[in-house]
Structure formats: C-alpha cells, structure tokens
Amino acid sequence: GENVEQHPSTLSVQEGDSAVIKCTYSDSASNYFPWYKQELGKRPQLIIDIRSNVGEKKDQRIAVTLNKTAKHFSLHITETQPEDSAVYFCAASIWGSTLGRLYFGRGTQLTVWP
C-alpha cells in the first residue's frame, strides 16, 4: 500500500517568516494530495489540495507544490501568523477510485512565535 513520509515533525518559526513542510509518497498511482490543519482538540480541516495534473496551487498565503516524478509534495506558508500554529498533515489518495482512502503522514507541529 501507499506510504507517506512527512518532515519535519516539529517546526518553529518567527511570525512573518515562511514555513515549508515536505512529504514523499511511494505509490505512483496516487494523484490527489490534500493538506489538513488540526488545531489542538479540533477536527482536521482541509486547507488546500492538489491533483497530479498541476504542479502548483496557491490560496492566499498557502501554496502546495507537487513533483510527481520525484514523488514529493510540499506545503508553503508565507507571512506566518500565530494562528497558523497547529499540526499539519499531508495525505495521498487516488482520486477517481471508488475507495478514496487517505494515507496520512505523521504530522508536523508548527509553532509560530510572535
């Protein structure tokens, strides 16, 4: 099955700096890569996703890049704010399948210091 590796496990940045979280996946059939943000005690919330027919997607301060050849994708957060502090999970799946099972990374605890 699919194996998703996520790095780093913890990341501390100063407010206003950029943060980058990287993930790799093993199954070349995976073509859908969502990112979820989970604040302490709350549900995982989808913040951005990308499909393999595009290499980059942006939504205001967040962006995701995908390198399908190398089987890795990254989350970029610019101008970080204290409210960006949370655990971020990457995931991989096969869009278009009947199952849609999400394979998650182990998460990155992002702390943004004011």
- Written as one letter, the residue type at 95 is W
CA distance 44 to 38: 4
Stretch that binds other proteins, among 36-44, 55-63, 66-74, 75-83 (CB under 8 A): 36-44
**Least CB distance from residue 7 to other proteins, whole Å?**
13
Indicate the residue among 44 and 80 with the shorter CB distance to other proteins.
Answer: 44
Instruction: State yes or no: residue 107 binds other proteins (CB under 8 A).
Output: yes
* 110 neighbors 87 (Cβ within 8 angstroms): yes
CB 25 within 8 A of CB 4: yes
Residues 82-101 that bind other proteins (CB under 8 A): 89, 91, 93-101
27 near other proteins, rule: CB under 8 A: no
**Structure tokens that stand for 64 in this block:** 């995701």
Q: How many residues comprise the chain?
A: 114
Residues of the shown chain interacting with other proteins in the complex, contacts defined by CB under 8 A: 4, 6, 34, 36, 42-46, 49, 89, 91, 93-107
